[in-house]
Structure 1
Amino acid sequence: MQRIRVGMTGLAVVVLLMMLAFAFFSSVNREAPVSAAGASNASVVANLTGIDNVAADRTRDEPLAELGVAPSTDDPAAAAQAREQAHRQDAATGK
């Protein structure tokens, strides 16, 4: 009987601690963010790098081309030439 009482007491303490932590963190989230005088505006800083986003999006679609392992599909002639070279190497090695 004492084991059950100790276990239930421990469980109650853990639940109480979790409730206190939840109350503390929820009150912190409700506070307005602090900004220092003369600090930069986060939305302006986030948009500073927006110039090269189009080029970056194209390279994100081709991680192998970015690493230099495979040719980029931006230049179809280079991709066709790389395929022909790969086929020639496969034929030469007998694959």
Structure 2
Amino acid sequence: MKTNFKKLVVMLGIVLGFTLSAGAIIMGWGYIAESEMHSFQENCSAIPNAYVKTDGKEYVVDGVLSYYGACVCRVGYTYNEAQKACVVMGE
């Protein structure tokens, strides 16, 4: 019984680790000023299979309304620097 439980925990850990790393981050997490958000979204959407992800909150950073977010690849894709695109994992 304990052996099966250990195997289950290890398997779940591997799956969870893969899931968390599945969305590759292209442009690192950081604060994006509201005035720059449109430009940031355009630059991110120009990358195939990428989108802007935020934490859904607004912040005031140095007196400027900002959002905390990043440009990330869709699940199952990873960023390829040479192609400047999100490609299917394993390619």
* TM-score, scaled to structure 2: 0.29
Larger Cα-atom Rg:
1
Higher relative contact order (CA 8 A, sep 6+): 2
Query: When the two structures are superposed, what TM-score results if normalisation uses the length of structure 1?
Result: 0.28
Structure showing the higher strand proportion among its residues: 2
Structure with greater proportional helix content? 1
